[in-house]
Amino acid sequence: RVQAFYWLIQFFICLHLQRAQTRNNQNINKTKTIFLKISSVGSEELFFFFHRKGETDTMVKKPATKKKPLNEVVTRDYTIHMHKRLHKVGFKKRAPRAIKVVRAFVKKQMGTEDVRIDTRLNKHIWSKGIKSVPFRIRVRLSRRRNDDEDSPHKLFTLVTWVPVSTFKELQTENVDASTE
């Protein structure tokens, strides 16, 4: 009985090892030792050791790829859901944090470090006071070339407010430069 159980476990382990070897692993030099206690009958205990090449105890971290600013000038309309981004932020810090959230959103979407927020957008964020920031904001992000030669950044993003009556079924849209 113990012998049959031992062979059954060994069969499944070999099957699992074959599947693991077919996968393309990055760390082929490292091995992971797995220790199995198959059964214990009276004073006898059966143990099984096997090594799996290519697996480690820790996950391998991929190198982070930094998003480079593109050289093309583009304009897009986005909807920023401020309510979810300002959750658990204290009342007296909401409007200032909203400006930082908009800035971080623009850096992520457009890939530029230089972000300039229009005064109309700033007034709209602060329109209901410091603690009652609008739940959603429709913004137009336009990536432009920087005229200042001393600046280390070749491009900057101008963020302007787009007034809309409703946010239903709005998607991210590319805007022609001529219709701005």
pLDDT band at 29 (very low <50, low <70, confident <90, very high): very low
Q: Is 139 a domain residue?
A: yes
Mean pLDDT for 150-167 is 95
Closest CA to 166 of 76, 79, 77: 79
Q: Are residues 15 and 89 in the same domain?
A: no
Per the structure, the complete domain to which residue 137 belongs is given by 74-179
Of the chain, the end-to-end C-alpha distance in Å amounts to 80
* Residue 121 belongs to a domain: yes
Share of the chain above pLDDT 90, in %: 53
Q: What integer pLDDT is reported at residue 82 of this predicted model?
A: 98
The two three-digit tokens of residue 42, written as one number = 């009276």
115 and 163 belong to one structural domain: yes
**Three-state DSSP class for 119?**
helix
- Find the mean pLDDT for residues 65-87: 88
What mean pLDDT is reported for the chain?
80
Using the predicted structure, report yes or no on whether residue 17 has a pLDDT greater than 70: no
Together in a domain, 98 and 136? yes
Distance CA 125, CA 130 (A): 9
74 within 8 A of 140, measured Cβ to Cβ: no
User: How many structural domains are present in the chain?
Assistant: 2
Q: Is residue 61 part of a domain?
A: no
Residue 60: inside a domain, yes or no? no
Q: What whole-number distance in Å separates Cα of residue 33 and Cα of residue 102?
A: 49
| pLDDT tens digits, 95-135 | 999 999 999 999 999 999 999 999 999 999 999 999 999 99
Q: Average of pLDDT values for 44-67?
A: 58
Residues 79 and 48 in one domain: no
C-alpha distance from residue 140 to each of 9, 19, 83, 92, 157 (Å): 61, 50, 19, 27, 10
Give CA–CA dist 25/139, Å, rounded. Answer: 44
Identify whether 151 is part of a domain: yes
44 and 99 together in one domain: no
pLDDT at 81: 98
In a domain, 59, yes or no: no
- Does residue 171 share a domain with residue 82? yes
Report the greatest alpha carbon distance in the chain.
86
Of 45-49, 127-131, 132-136, 155-159, where does mean pLDDT reach its minimum? Answer: 45-49
What's the burial of 155, exposed, middle or buried (CB within 10 Å: 0-12/13-18/19+)? buried
Say whether both 79 and 167 belong to one domain.
Answer: yes
Give the separation between CA 121 and CA 50, rounded to whole angstroms.
63
Indicate if 96 and 18 belong to the same structural domain: no
Say yes or no to pLDDT of 18 above 80: no
